[in-house]
Structure 1
């Protein structure tokens, strides 16, 4: 079980400069992702007089997030692993690919990157609203929770298969593209129901800037559950104990 490989910290990691560099990489990658993703939604709202719920708005959001995540993962991959998502970091922790200490640093960096991106957007647009994630009128919090669990499962499963599996080989080259594609596809599937977050940082920044916390717990609990299930399933079925390499202070 992955739980057996969970590690608090490796020797001297607390003072290891690579851990701080990796956290900065997560901060900037998340800022890039949020600025483009959230900014595209704000731009579409302005162009269509708040008509982002149209089919064209959904497609635009899907493409913007897919492209931005592809870039954000790519630029951070060689430094931090390009998580850009507390749920991905949690899944990596459950699978023993990242220590608790480094995971906490990543979470702090990701959440700060999200908040800074949203404040920059609000300032740069002259005070336009950075809308928080919300549920459709015919969707309950428990319906949305299931959406977030399933969509994040697909995302983290893709991350494991293309970026974290020791047997990935040359497949790792296309990992950022595959990760961007699954997020874009999930937005098309769940965007009209609950916004399709799959990422607590994506929902956290807009919630802080707009100070809107209605059903915000859904966008934390769902992704974390989905990430944990994906980590346990992929690690136990497809990786196994025999193929794991020793955890290094420079990994993820």
Structure 2
């Protein structure tokens, strides 16, 4: 079974994001970038499937600029076999365009299972996995907290829903998106980091995957970007009566 994992290069989750002074977007100058945390969970799950003998190959794919090769190398150092970079320069690629690119790659690679993070922490769209499933006409299991491959034809996915947990049985090939509680990603050891530098990474263009530049045409326009309002300092009250009075007359919650 071949597992295809999509990974995205995003601002590291430990970085405090700064908005540009003109409000045109987020300032990425000299900012640490890393693999999207949800995608890192997807990579870990694919590697565990291989280690358990249920998968034969783990292939990573990233859509973005040449800098995204660093993200692929991170996943290769964790244990993936090879990578594919679809170069779109520095252009912003919306979820539908990513899904169309991943569809072409999944078909050319003849993947049996595609695993993605449920969302990226930069745009929080939570759309790519669902769109990919629709384009491929494959079953999907989103927000997975457990992935259990039963056979080369079936996989059970336990997903988190508002009412608790739901278990689905999917017919392979299928698309799965990962939630935080699926696993704890491993740290890449220094020897594996060195080995990852020699693992193959195929660099493709849109034409190589059978698509034209029009797929990148944006459907959304960002008018302005603003930082959230700073939280105001709290106040202390002398007694319960004063607290109730302020909740009633000032906060308006009673």
| TM value normalised by structure 2 | 0.26
If asked which structure has higher relative contact order (CA below 8 Å, sep 6+), I would say 1
Point out the structure with the larger helix share. Answer: 1
Instruction: Please identify the structure whose Cα radius of gyration is greater.
Output: 2
